[in-house]
Amino acid sequence: MNYNDNVTVAAEPYEFEFNLSQCALLIIDMQRDFLEPGGFGEILGNDVNQLRRTVSSNQKLLKQWREAGLKVIYTREGHRPDLSDLPLSKKIRGRHTVCVGDLGPMGRILVRGEPGHDIIPELYPLPGEAIIDKCGKSAFYATDLDAILRNYNIKQLIVTGVTTEVCVSSTVRDANDRGYECLVLEDCVGSYFPSFQVAALDMIKAQGGIFGWVAHSDKVINVLKLDCEN
């Protein structure tokens, strides 16, 4: 594969053209606390299977992306053990009996260094792949993601992860305002709520792609495979 190749994939609202050397795969918050039984997501009453259906699609994409030698960046939502970066408004939101920082079945909920905060084993980062720890929903809020992308000369993002209407959407909207072009892969992003999944993707691609583009991961995998063969 020529690392400087321009490739085009079928997407909505129209085809997404990207340059491999200027594009990173951004995998958002594929953490045990959100995806595994017993984690924070399930404690809140959510069906984690709604998110788990994204795991195999992400695995296939990640394998091809890594084989092509392209950049992968992960994010994790979570807080310092002393919770000094956790706003009270977030801690008490929802009036739940268990909240961020409390002890759950996988350690303290959404606290850095705890088992539940970690990326699921199926998609575990390789040494050298950047991990952005974020305390907010957008991966740009109070992080060095923008600086890292600029230093890597990344201008386009293939976005996957959870949840579609929360951290994925917040990040895509923020990225868009900063001038990054985002392609969101519909089978690699997940919501606990099927109707939110549809609505969030519709909002991204509406009005000529007001926040970005949406496609199935097969489209990206196929162009990477084709490019490898040439």
Of 32 and 64, nearer to ligand C5J (C-beta) is 32
Count of positions (residues) in the chain: 230
Contacts of 87 (CB under 8 A, 6+ apart): none
Smallest gap, in angstroms, from Cβ of residue 222 to ligand C5J?
28
Binding residues for ligand C5J, rule CB under 6 A, total: 7
By CB under 6 A, residue 163 contacts ligand C5J: yes
Catalytic residue, candidates 167, 174, 182, 188: 167
167 a catalytic residue: yes
Distance of CA 215 to the CA centre of its chain: 15
Smallest gap, in angstroms, from Cβ of residue 53 to ligand C5J?
16
Distance of CA 132 to the CA centre of its chain: 11
By CB under 6 A, residue 119 contacts ligand C5J: no
Of 57 and 163, nearer to ligand C5J (C-beta) is 163
Q: Which of helix, strand or coil describes residue 227?
A: helix
Of 20 and 214, nearer to ligand C5J (C-beta) is 214
Catalytic residue, candidates 71, 134, 137, 205: 134
Distance of CA 151 to the CA centre of its chain: 20
Alpha helices in the chain (DSSP H): 32-35, 40-43, 49-52, 55-67, 88-92, 145-151, 169-177, 194-209, 217-229
23 a catalytic residue: no
Scanning 14-22, 149-157, 158-166, 194-202 for contacts with ligand C5J by CB under 6 A, the matching segment is: 158-166
Catalytic residue, candidates 29, 118, 133, 174: 29
By CB under 6 A, residue 132 contacts ligand C5J: no
End-to-end CA distance of the chain: 7
User: What b/e string do you get for 151-164 counting C-beta neighbours within 10 Å, with b at 16 or more?
Assistant: eeebbbbbbbbbbb
Distance of CA 32 to the CA centre of its chain: 14
Binders of ligand C5J among residues 24 to 53 (CB under 6 A) are 29, 34
By CB under 6 A, residue 118 contacts ligand C5J: no
Report the distance separating Cα 159 and Cα 185, nearest Å: 6
Which of 61, 166, 220, 224 lies at the binding interface for ligand C5J (CB under 6 A)?
166
Binders of ligand C5J among residues 60 to 79 (CB under 6 A) are 77
Residues of this chain that bind ligand C5J (CB under 6 A): 29, 34, 77, 162-163, 166-167
* Catalytically annotated residues: 29, 134, 167
